[in-house]
Amino acid sequence: MASTGRNSLKSTLRQSHANYFDNLLDSMPTLADGGVMAAGSVLGIGIQAVTAAGSNQSNGGSISATGGTLVNVTGADNTKCVVLPLLSAVTVGTMFLIFNNAASNTLEVFGGVGDDINPAGDNTAVTIAADTIMLCVALDGAQWVGAELPVIGA
11 and 78 belong to one structural domain: no
* 8 A C-beta contact, residue 96 and residue 63: yes
26 and 78 belong to one structural domain: no
153 assigned to some structural domain: no
Paired with 70 in beta bridges are 47, 97
pLDDT digits (tens, 9 = 90+) for 76-91: 999 999 999 999 999 9
pLDDT digits (tens, 9 = 90+) for 32-58: 444 455 554 445 578 999 999 999 999
| The pLDDT of residue 120 | 87
1 assigned to some structural domain: no
Find the domain containing 15 and state its range. Answer: 6-31
135 assigned to some structural domain: yes
23 and 79 belong to one structural domain: no
> What is the pLDDT averaged over residues 132-150?
92
89 and 52 belong to one structural domain: yes
75 and 142 belong to one structural domain: yes
Look up the CATH number of the domain holding residue 79: 2.60.120
25 and 78 belong to one structural domain: no
For residues 24-40, b (16+ Cβ closer than 10 Å) or e, as one string?
eeeeeeeeeeeeebebb
Higher per-residue confidence, 96 vs 5: 96
pLDDT digits (tens, 9 = 90+) for 110-139: 999 999 999 888 899 999 999 999 999 999
20 and 74 belong to one structural domain: no
98 and 141 belong to one structural domain: yes
49 assigned to some structural domain: yes
**For the chain, how many structural domains are there in total?**
2
